[in-house]
Every structure is written in C-alpha cells, then in structure tokens.
Structure 1
Amino acid sequence: MTTDVLVIGSGIAGCSAALAAARAGARVTLATKATAPDECATWRAQGGIAVPRGGPDALARDVRAASDGCADPDAVRALVDGAPEAVADVLLDTLSVPFDRDGDGFDYGREAAHSARRVLHVDASTGRHVLGPFLSHLRGRERVTILEDTAALDLLARDGRVHGAWLERDGDVEACFAGATVLATGGIGALFPRSTNPDGATGDGIAMAARAGASAEDMEYVQFHPTVAGGDEPFLVSEAVRGEGALLRDGNGERFAARYHPDAELAPRDVVARAVARERERTGEVTLDVSPLDFRAAFPDLAARCAARGVEWRSGIPVAPAEHFLCGGIAVDREGRTGLDRLFAVGECARTGVHGANRLASTSLLEGLVWGLRAGEAAAGYESTRIDAPPPLDDDPPLPPAFAADKFARLRRIVGEHLGLERDPDGLRRARAALRRLKGEADAYCRTRTSRDLYELRAACVTALLVARAAGRNPESRGCHHLTAEASGRAD
C-alpha cells in the first residue's frame, strides 16, 4: 500500500491534517483504531473551543498563567494567532458546526482560569458536533481514504527517516509506505485506572516515535480533571458548569475551593484537582452543587447523562479527579515536525509547548485544529519511497486470551499508585523498576507475535516508562507534576 500522506488517528488533529494535506493535492490515507467516532477523545470533548475574543493577548496570558509559567511563548502566540482563521475556515465555513448562539451572536462560555467568556460550544457536547461532520466531510473528498479498525503497530523507519507504518486490520499486517506520516494518536488515559479517555488511548504514537528515535518532552505533566462523575464508567462534568456558577462542597456540605486558591472553583485544573482529592480523603466525598444555576436548561446533555447513569444531580453530583490530558508528548515545531525526517505529530500525542505544566481549559481542540492544519500542509509534497523491511514475526502460538489484559491491569496498578495526582521520589523509583520489567516482557512477546493487544501493551509500557523517567528527573513541583516530598538532585 502506498500513499502520499499517512495520518494515524481520527480525532480533530488527524482530521485537520488530512484535510490540509488533501487541499494541498496529496493522496491521504487516514488509519484509525476506532470503529466509530465515539471511540475518539474528540467526540468526548464537552466544554468547547477557546477563541481569542477581543484580541489574542488576553488569551495568551491566560494560557501562560495556567501553564504555571512553563508554556513556550512562541508556541502560545502561534496558537492564538492561528485560531481565528482556523476556526472560521474549518469549523464555521467548511463544517458549519452549530455553536450555541445568544441572539445574533455566539453564546460564549467561561471556564476555569479564563479571564473572559470566550469558549465556543454546543451545549456540553461540542466534540461530537465537530467530529461527526468532520469525518463525513473527509469521506466525501476524493483524495482521502479512511481505514477504520486499523491499528498502526510500528513505524517504517531507517536512517532517521520515516517511510510509513505497519498497519494491522483483522489480524492481517501490511506495510503502508508514505511520503510523510502524521501521528495523531491521542493521549494515554488507558494507562490509568480512572480516565476520561477512550479505552484505545494507549500511547501508541508516542511509543512508536520514541522507538524510532524521536524525542519526547514534558511527559511528567499529566493533567487530571477535577470533576469526573461515575464509578466504573466515569464521565466528565464539564468545567463550563463551574464557569456558570456550580460550587464544590465537601462531605460536610461546606464549600472549600477558596481555601486552596483565590479563584476558588475557577482556579487552574491542577489546583482544583488536588483540592478535590484532598477533601475527598478528609471528608469522604466531594459533590458539585449545581443549584446556583438552571442545570437542566443550561446543560441538557449533561443532565440527561446524569439521569442515564443514575446520578441525582439535584442533590449534588459526586465527583473525583481522573486522568484527562497529557500536556507533553512527541517534541514538535510550529508545523508539527518531529526530529525524524518526514514524521509529524499533532494533537495530544504531540508536545507543541503550548501547555507547559498544565493545560488551560478548552484549548485542546483548538491546538489539534491549528497544528493539524499546519502539519497536513507541510506533509504534502513528499513522494513515498519503498524500503525493504521485514514484517513483524508471527511464529509462536497465540497467547491465552486474557494474557495482555492481565499485564495491562498490572501496568494500571503501577501507574495509578505511583504516577497519579501526587508523586514521591521513592514511588517513582519503584515505578520505573516495575515498568522496566513489564516492558521487557512485552518486548519479548512482540518479537514473535503481532496481535494488536500485545502491541498496545508494549506501547503503554514504553509511554508509562517515559512518564516515570521524566517525573523522576524533575525535582520541582510545577502544575500537574506535584511531589509530596521534594526530590534532591536528578534521578536516573
């Protein structure tokens, strides 16, 4: 199989890259593990898309402040300067996303750590109103081929250049040679016991890029969302609900957020998430009190979701933090280029420098859109080159059906215990040792077997180890990386 541009991943970042590459005249193959749009993180995005309403400077200041001073100012400027054209071109003119309106204008929402109302949204289900039309639009383009239920196992790389990837579908493995390859594989939520991400968020793109020699940066900065409801099937309660006046209360019914930050419920996510976790530990429960607003009228989708899950929102929604977003990832430049020739990365798997140590609410879809368009255009124009590459081996007998799942459960226990909201140096050392052993096992099995679940396990091990190593090297608590005991020096 050959193509001009291979895009791996079908969220807003991957779709944007595919669109831009096709517009530039390239033949595009978009491969995705998903079998339906709701298996992508974009589909689950609730709050919306922050835009530089009233000018870019205020939004840029808020992004940098939320990042705990760690955002790259040039990357932030690229985001806010590119936002108006990208939103108007793709979301409004091309896809006609039906953002909520207030009379003749848009109904801009406000979320935590934003200094103004500037978030475009569709109720609290913005992502599905973006991704559904986006995929439909791409299916209608002559130059775009979408391969669903198709996993990328590994990159075809040689001498610092990427020539495509090995793709697996229904157990069959085929090389896809591409002039350029764009990773848009999303986040790492599946590595954690509790996450807002889909089950397929196993860090595939990050692991493949790292194995091929690309650099990963800021991997210690894993963001937890403070208000996630539900037990075995967690669901996000949008930050926009607090933006409209909802209050956090402890198990005694007392409001507590102002004790942790002057902005109370609208403080940066890392602050609120740790506050919720501590109050849950201290008082047994934290609820989101939505009585200050007309919850059903303002957020009908969320009210319906609560009812479907048996959550009685009128008496307060029980919430707890859950893994939500990776602020780091594969290091890229302003066009999504990695350190490997003809390999690009966009979306949550990429580290653009925008988020620093903590992400500002409703900037993830925007980042995926802006960087996806840039990367897609830059990726067009390369000719595919075939290389001799031995296919992955599949010589040994299949493993028991639950083998990979059991190993993955072990990985989640390690990650949940040592790489969560709060970390300590000794726990990080133990995590690195355990993850190295688990990765060694996964590597050994993948040498002679090509099942998708084994390759996902290996990707998860590689990515978790990158997080643990980055956390161990950083002795300073910043944003999402919070140490219970300050480390001295640098760990290996």
Structure 2
Amino acid sequence: MKTDVLVVGSGIAGCAAALAAAREGADVLVVTKATEPEDANTDWAQGGIAVTQSAPDAFADDIRRASDDTADPAAVDVLVSNAREAVEDVLLDTLGVEFDTAGDDFDLAREAGHSNRRILHVDASTGKYVLRPFLEHLSERDGVRIIDDATVLDLVTDEGTVRGATVLTGDGVEPVFAGATVLATGGIGACYGRSTNPPGATGDGVAMAALAGATISDMQYVQFHPTAYDPETDPSADDAAHSFLVSEAVRGEGAVLRDGDGRRFMPDVHEDAELAPRDVVARAVARARDRTGRVVLDVSDIDFRAEFPDLADLCDDRGVELDAGIPVAPSEHFLCGGIAVDERGRSSLDRLFAAGECARTGVHGANRLASTSLLEGLVWGTRAGETAAARGRGDATAVEHVPPRDSDPALPDAFADAKFDRLGETMDEFAGVERTPDGLETARARLRRLKGEVDAYARTRVSRSLYELRNACISSLLVARAAESAPPAGCHSLSESEVIASADD
C-alpha cells in the first residue's frame, strides 16, 4: 500500500495533520488503533482550548511562567501567534463547534496559571465536541482514507529516511509506504497505574521514533494533574470505582482544596492558591494526602451541578457525596517531552513528522499551562500536515522491508495485563509526582528487567498487546533515564541506543 502522507493517530493532532495535508492536495491515509472516538486522548479532554485575546503577550507570559521559564520562546510565539487563526479556521468555520456562550459572546473560562479568561469550552467535555465532528468531516472528505482498529508496529526506514510504517490489521501485517509520515499517537498514560489517559496511551509514537533513531527530548517532564477522582480514599466508593479527571475549570470557578482535617491548604503554598500552576498544586495535594490521609475538592461555594453537569453525572455514577467534597489525588496527565520537532513538526529523521502529545515542541517546557494541549495539537498538527504534504506528495517509495517474525503461539491476554500492572506500580512509586535518585535507580533496574522479558517474547510474536507493552517499557525507560540524568531544568535528549544499553546493563 502507498500514500503521499501517512498519519498515525486520530486525535486532534492527527486529524489536523490529515486535514491540512488533504487541503494541499496530498493523498492521506490515517491509521489508528482507535475503534471509537473515546479511544483517543482528545475525546477525554475536559477543560477547553485557550485562545489568544487582545493581549497576546499576556498569554505568552502565562505559558512561560507555568513552565518555570523552561519553555522555548520561539515555540511559544508559534503557538500564540497561530492560535486564533487555527481555532477560527478549523474549529469554528470548518467544523462548526458550538462552544458555550454567554449572551452574544463566548463564555470564556479561566483555569490555573491563566491571568485572565481565555478558554473556549463546551461544558467540561470539550474534547468530544471537537473530535467527533472532526472525524466525521474527515470520513467524508475526498483524499482521506481512515483505517481503524489497526496497530502500527514499527517505522520503515531506509538509510536514515522514514519511508512509512508496518501495520497490523485483521488481515495481517503489511507495509504502508509513504512520502511522509506524521506521528500523532498521544501520550504515555498507560505507563502509570493512575492516569487520566485512555488505556491505549502506551507511548507508541515515542518508542517507534526512538527505535528508528529519532531524537527524543525532555522525557523527564511528565505532568501530573492535581485533581483526579480518588476512589482509594472515598468511603462511598465500591471496589469497581474508577478514577476520572475533575477539570481545572472547577477550581477556576471557585472550588477549593481541603486536606483530611478540613483545612484549606493552597493559600499557604502559593499566592495563586488553587489556581497556581499544575506542578505546584499536584505536589501540594500529594503531600497533604500523605500527611492527612485524603484531599477533597470542596465545591460547596459553586453551583456545581449547573456549571458542570457532565462531571456531576460522573460523581453520581460513583456515589460521590458532593456535600463532603470530591476526593482527589494527582494522576499522570500529560507528557511535555517526546519526539523533538521544529516549528513545522519536522523530527530529526527525514520525512518523519510528529505533532500532539507525542511531540516535544518546546512550548510547554517542564510544565504545561492548562488548556493548551488541544491548541498545540491543532497548531502543530496543521503545520506538520502542510509541510508533510509538500515533502511527500507523489513521492511514496517502496523499499526492501523485512516483516516481524510471528512464529510462536500467541500469549494469553493475562500476560500483558500482568506486565502492565508491574510497570504501573513501578512508575507510580518511583517516577511519579516526587522523585529521588535512589527511587529512580530502582525504577530503572526494574524497567530493564521488564523490558528484557518483553523483548524475549516480542522477537517471535506479533500482537497489539505485546507491541504496546514494548512501547510502554521503552517510554518508561526514557522517562526514568531522563529524570535520573537531567538537571532540574532544561533539555535532555536520549537516543534509543542509550535505552537499549541501559536495558542490557
């Protein structure tokens, strides 16, 4: 199979890349693991999408301040200067997303780290109101084909140039040769036991790019959202209760955090209290939870059911007693590092592009400002798609390709499940909100052993679960190695050769 532009992933970044490439006249193939929109991180996004208002410098300042001055100024300028045009062109004019309004104007929200109201939203479920019409639009657009329920196993390379990817579908394994390839595979939430991501966020793009030799940067910068529902400390939760994200917009409207003793603790931590940057709030919540046994989000001073009906329904489904507050804990939320790309989404490998959470654009630095993830995916997805079309249009080249071996019997589903449990326990304990040198050394040793076990099986078997597990192990090792090696701020790049070497120590 051949195509001008191969897009891997179907969240907002992948959809934006596909749309942009098709607008440039390229033949586009989107390959995705997803079978439903909710399989993508974008569909889970709650808060909204930040837009540049009349004072763009204030938006840029907020991004840099949230990053603790580690964001790349050039990348911040790209995001801020392109935000309004991208939102108006794609989300409003093309897709017709009906963001919440207040009278004749948009109902702009404020979230942590923002100095003013600038966030477009639909209730607290913005992602699904963006992604679903996007997918429908692409499915009806000439020049775009979508293959779902398909697993990209590896990139196809030829002398340092990416020529497409190997894809596993229900019909077997086959190469897809492409003039240019865009990775938009999302984050690494499945590497952690507690995450706000869907289960399929296994770090596929990062791992495949690393294996192909691309530069991977800033993997130590994993963001933890401070307010995910915490069934562990909720006396009303049953054994089957699952976590969910409690949007930052709830704190933006006036909800406050209280520890197990009923004390509001954030004013003593930061001058912005509950609206401090996410990393500050997440550490404070983790420490208060350790100290007093639990932390709750007190929503008694806001009309929670009226303002956030979708979240209220989630709380009701789990039996949360809102009068007592919503029990919360930090959970892995977003990878700020990833495949190093430039302002057009170009990676260090020829014909390979990346956008969205799997890409390290530099715009977030060490910590992402709230409601900039959808915006980054939209802006960089569009730019990557345009440039990929120019690079790959009419230039798909078939090269010699050796498919992976699949000679041994398939493994039971419980095999991958047990390994993922071990992986999540290790990352939660030693590579979570707070890390120590000894803990990271322990994590690396455990991850090396786990990766070695997985590699032994993956050499002679081909399955989605096994390759996802391989990718998650590689991504986790990149996080642990970067966190152990990097200074508190700044960039740290790793090649896959370093990961392999660490696994063989």
Deviation at 1:314, TM superposition (A): 2.8
1:288-437 matched pairs, under 5 angstroms: 288-381=297-390, 382=392, 383-437=395-449
Q: Percent identity?
A: 66
1:192-211 matched pairs, under 5 angstroms: 192-211=192-211
Q: TM-score, normalised on structure 2? A: 0.93
Inter-partner Cα distance in structure 2 for 1:422 and 1:161: 39
Kindly indicate whether the alpha-carbon contact (under 8 Å) linking 1:171 and 1:451 is maintained by their aligned counterparts in 2.
no
Inter-partner Cα distance in structure 2 for 1:55 and 1:134: 29
Residue 261 (structure 1) aligned to one of 267, 270, 295: 270
Letter of the structure 2 residue corresponding to residue 282 of structure 1: R
Alignment correspondent of 1:482: none
Moved more, 423-432 or 226-235: 226-235
Task: Say yes or no: does 1:446 pair with 2:455.
Answer: no
Deviations 1:406-435 (A, max 9, x none): 222211121111100011101111211221
Alignment correspondent of 1:30: 30
Deviation at 1:229, TM superposition (A): 0.7
Deviation at 1:230, TM superposition (A): 4.4
Inter-partner Cα distance in structure 1 for 2:99 and 2:415: 45
Alignment correspondent of 1:128: 128
Kindly indicate whether the alpha-carbon contact (under 8 Å) linking 1:257 and 1:272 is maintained by their aligned counterparts in 2.
yes
Kindly indicate whether the alpha-carbon contact (under 8 Å) linking 1:31 and 1:146 is maintained by their aligned counterparts in 2.
yes
Q: Across the two proteins, how many residue pairs are aligned to each other? A: 480
Deviation at 1:47, TM superposition (A): 0.5
Inter-partner Cα distance in structure 2 for 1:248 and 1:400: 43
Alignment correspondent of 1:483: none
Inter-partner Cα distance in structure 2 for 1:287 and 1:391: 51
Inter-partner Cα distance in structure 2 for 1:358 and 1:159: 36
Deviation at 1:303, TM superposition (A): 1.0
Kindly indicate whether the alpha-carbon contact (under 8 Å) linking 1:230 and 1:309 is maintained by their aligned counterparts in 2.
no
Alignment correspondent of 1:486: none
Moved more, 185-194 or 444-453: 444-453
Residue 236 (structure 1) aligned to one of 230, 233, 245: 245
**397 and 43 in structure 1: CA distance in 2 versus 1, 3 angstrom threshold:** same
Inter-partner Cα distance in structure 2 for 1:331 and 1:283: 40
Which residues of structure 2 form unaligned runs of 5+? 232-240, 492-504
CA RMSD of aligned residues (A): 1.3
Deviation at 1:298, TM superposition (A): 1.0
Letter of the structure 2 residue corresponding to residue 427 of structure 1: G
Inter-partner Cα distance in structure 1 for 2:430 and 2:92: 43
Inter-partner Cα distance in structure 1 for 2:397 and 2:490: 44
Moved over 6 A (4+): none
Inter-partner Cα distance in structure 1 for 2:373 and 2:490: 20
Deviation at 1:477, TM superposition (A): 6.8
SS, match of residue 152 in structure 1: strand
Q: TM-score, normalised on structure 1? A: 0.96
Kindly indicate whether the alpha-carbon contact (under 8 Å) linking 1:153 and 1:166 is maintained by their aligned counterparts in 2.
yes
Task: Say yes or no: does 1:165 pair with 2:165.
Answer: yes
Kindly indicate whether the alpha-carbon contact (under 8 Å) linking 1:52 and 1:58 is maintained by their aligned counterparts in 2.
no
Inter-partner Cα distance in structure 2 for 1:174 and 1:313: 52
Inter-partner Cα distance in structure 2 for 1:401 and 1:268: 40
Moved more, 463-472 or 404-413: 404-413
Deviation at 1:441, TM superposition (A): 2.1
Deviations 1:35-89 (A, max 9, x none): 1001111001010001111221100000000001100000000000010110000
Letter of the structure 2 residue corresponding to residue 81 of structure 1: S
Deviations 1:4-51 (A, max 9, x none): 111000000000000000000011111111110011110010100011
SS, match of residue 319 in structure 1: strand
Alignment correspondent of 1:474: 486
Inter-partner Cα distance in structure 1 for 2:93 and 2:487: 47
Deviations 1:293-330 (A, max 9, x none): 11111111111121122112232111111100001000
Alignment correspondent of 1:152: 152
Residue 461 (structure 1) aligned to one of 473, 481, 489: 473
Inter-partner Cα distance in structure 1 for 2:18 and 2:339: 19
Inter-partner Cα distance in structure 1 for 2:487 and 2:79: 29
Kindly indicate whether the alpha-carbon contact (under 8 Å) linking 1:17 and 1:374 is maintained by their aligned counterparts in 2.
yes
Alignment correspondent of 1:49: 49
Deviations 1:460-479 (A, max 9, x none): 11100000110011242799
Inter-partner Cα distance in structure 1 for 2:362 and 2:91: 24
Inter-partner Cα distance in structure 2 for 1:84 and 1:401: 45
1:29-178 matched pairs, under 5 angstroms: 29-170=29-170, 172-178=172-178
Letter of the structure 2 residue corresponding to residue 223 of structure 1: Q
Inter-partner Cα distance in structure 1 for 2:144 and 2:487: 46
Alignment correspondent of 2:500: none
SS, match of residue 279 in structure 1: helix
Inter-partner Cα distance in structure 2 for 1:478 and 1:30: 34
SS, match of residue 402 in structure 1: helix
SS, match of residue 173 in structure 1: strand
Kindly indicate whether the alpha-carbon contact (under 8 Å) linking 2:165 and 2:177 is maintained by their aligned counterparts in 1.
yes
Deviations 1:198-230 (A, max 9, x none): 000000000000000001111001001011114
Kindly indicate whether the alpha-carbon contact (under 8 Å) linking 2:366 and 2:489 is maintained by their aligned counterparts in 1.
no
Kindly indicate whether the alpha-carbon contact (under 8 Å) linking 1:68 and 1:478 is maintained by their aligned counterparts in 2.
no
SS, match of residue 331 in structure 2: strand
Deviations 1:387-423 (A, max 9, x none): 0111111011222332222222211121111100011
1:175-194 matched pairs, under 5 angstroms: 175-194=175-194
Which residues of structure 1 form unaligned runs of 5+? 480-491
SS, match of residue 311 in structure 1: coil
